[in-house]
Structure 1
Amino acid sequence: MRRLLLLALLLAPGLAAAQPVPEALQGAWFQGECARPDALLHLTHRAAARVPRERAGRLLRFPVMRLQEGWLIGTGRGAEAPRLMLRAAGDALETAEPEAKAREDRLPGEAPLARWHRCEPVPPAVALLHGEGVAVMAALEHAEAACGGADTIACLAAVMAQADVSGDGRLTRAELARLARGAAWMVAVQEGVTGENLAGAVAAGALAGQLAAQLTVEGLDYDGDGRLSAEELAQDRGRFGVARGNATGRPAHSEAAGPGLEALRGLLSGLSLLK
């Protein structure tokens, strides 16, 4: 099992306040027997999904992370600003989830400590249920990193890179449906679904995701090959504002429009684009 040698790094002075979850702590952690875990905790750079088998799950995404007395503390958004505290303990992981009213200078306060361990290999049933969800949770962070600026093309390229499972530079309905299933998993965990009920929640979201994937491809597949390219995703979006129109002619609202403009007006009216 991989040793958690970044404990010293977590304790080192001078680290940035925006320190993400170290790679040695990322990935899947478990409570209980590996064959049938009582709970899963999955960590990415800036998110944590805790999914107990019989209790409500929790998904936290951290815009702010900081170090305090050997703990890495991630703070989520919302009125209560939920917090998750992490620290390495040899090959194990310890966590605490302080109450909203707990003072920052007294953390973890009375919050109970939870201890987690690795399972190698990950149980197949766990991978089947959670695999797409945690993959999309990580993919979202990659997309956010590229989409935080003003470069729309770079943002769409990052989305394409994360969604393009086959690596052929095109998105199929199956690849889009995968994103929808992963998103359904994230929503279900965020809403507190238990591990035992998660499969049903994801299945319901998958049906809607399959339809959404089909409509997305049909709506953006301009060359009709049944797949979406980066160029098709960027059509009218990646070069926003460059369409300047034409100085000749006149708006087609005129009652005295010629036959050609009347035909155009009829077409656009049929599409509810021209009143």
Structure 2
Amino acid sequence: MTRFPLSGLLAVLLPLGSALAQVPAQGAAAAPAEMPPIAAPLRGAWFAGECIAPTAMLQLTARAVARLPADGPARLIRFAEARPLEGWHMGTGRGAEAPRVLLRGDAGKLETAEPDAKLRDDQLPGATPVQAWHRCPAPPPSFAALHGEGLAFLASLEVLEAACGVPGANVGDCVKAVVAEGDISGDRLLSVAEIARLVRGMTWVLAAADDAGPENLAAAGGGGVLAGVALARFAMESLDYDGDGKLSAAELGQDRAAFPKAGGSENGRPLRLEGVQEGVNLLRSLIDGLLFSE
């Protein structure tokens, strides 16, 4: 079984781990200029082929493109940069190859092109093949079952990045965003099932970013079910301070959203911390053995 460090819910729920642990303080440097997002009419699900049995699906969010063939590897590109380009909207992903995607269309039709890495921007789109996409009344069951939760989390991830990973963000706003994105029931709390859903979605995003095929995406989803429930129950046991079986934004942000008061007491004498550490290590080893044994 995969081992997870005992570092709190935020580090295991989101692939923002260290970013959330180091949310910039208020008053930090001004944010850089905003990247032009994918226009709202273009966002959502697009399909190639007949709606009853599409050959591929394309999902657009504000800052990402996910191409999902019915039989072939997924391709997820999250834009680090975007700009207009002679009638197209061009997004560029991260990495050594800096993959580019060209988009143009309206609410009812879409064209995309994925140029070769060697083609210069001033030569685009050149002879790059153009793929046409159309809307369908509803996603086919096979696509919805395999990709639905992952695509929902992909959109949520962008919301969480905006709340948690920009200059001037604070932990309080970050955890409120986590609760808002995960809250399906509308009670402003996170249940075990809602936390598990976030973990399953994160598992799908990680697999899609690794160009997984349908079989591997399905396997990742199956693994995400087990891991999601395990992590959700562990998080609940760790952070549900009032014992109601759900997590609130206040519980998620406890001791993280603001520095505690500098109280303490002038009485007493300092303990030998080395001895305390030995006890902590022993307890941690015991918990690891119980929770994460093979």
Query: Which TM-score applies when normalising by structure 1?
Result: 0.83
Matched, 1:172 2:181: no
* Alignment partner, residue 183 of structure 1: 202
Report what 1:127 is aligned to.
Answer: 144
Structure 2 unaligned residues grouped into runs of 5+: 1-32, 284-294
Once the two structures are TM-superposed, the CA of residue 243 in structure 1 deviates from its matched residue by 4.6
* Contact 1:129–1:199 (CA under 8 A) maintained in structure 2: yes
RMSD: 2.3
2:227 corresponds to 1:208: yes
1:1-20 alignment runs, 5 A limit: 18-20=35-37
What is the aligned partner in structure 2 of residue 154 from structure 1? Answer: 173
CA contact (8 A) 2:111 2:132 kept: yes
CA deviations 1:9-46 (Å, max 9, x no partner) are xxxxxxx9822111110000011111111111000000
SS in structure 1 of the partner of residue 58 of structure 2: strand
Q: Is the 8 A contact 2:42 2:107 kept in 1?
A: no
Match of 1:142 among 152, 159, 163: 159
| 1:100 equivalenced with 2:117 (yes/no) | yes
- Quote the sequence identity (%): 52
Instruction: Determine helix, strand or coil for the equivalent of 1:86.
Output: strand
1:119-157 deviation line (CA, Å, top 9, x unaligned): 112223322222111111111111111112332111111
How do 1:1-275 and structure 2 match up within 5 A? 18-88=35-105, 91-147=108-164, 148=166, 149-240=168-259, 242-253=261-272, 269-272=278-281
Larger displacement relative to structure 2 (96-105 or 236-245):
236-245
Once residues 243 and 64 of structure 2 are traced to their aligned partners in structure 1, the CA distance between those partners, rounded to angstroms, is: 38
Once structures 1 and 2 are overlaid, which stretch shifts more, 182-191 or 89-98? 89-98
Larger radius of gyration: 1
* In structure 1, distance between residues paired with 2:216 and 2:277: 48
**Within 1, Cα distance between the matches of 2:238 and 2:133?**
45
Q: How does the TM-score come out when normalised to structure 2?
A: 0.78
> Counterpart amino acid of 1:119?
C
Residues in 1 aligned to 2:205 and 2:67: alpha-carbon distance in whole angstroms: 11
Q: How far 1:189 moved relative to its partner?
A: 1.3
Higher relative contact order (CA 8 A, sep 6+): 2
Shift of 1:193: 1.7
CA displacement at 1:90 relative to structure 2? 8.0
Report the alpha carbon displacement of residue 187 of structure 1 after superposing the two structures with TM.
1.4
Q: Quote the offset at 1:273 in angstroms.
A: 9.0
CA distance in 2, matches of 1:110, 1:171: 50
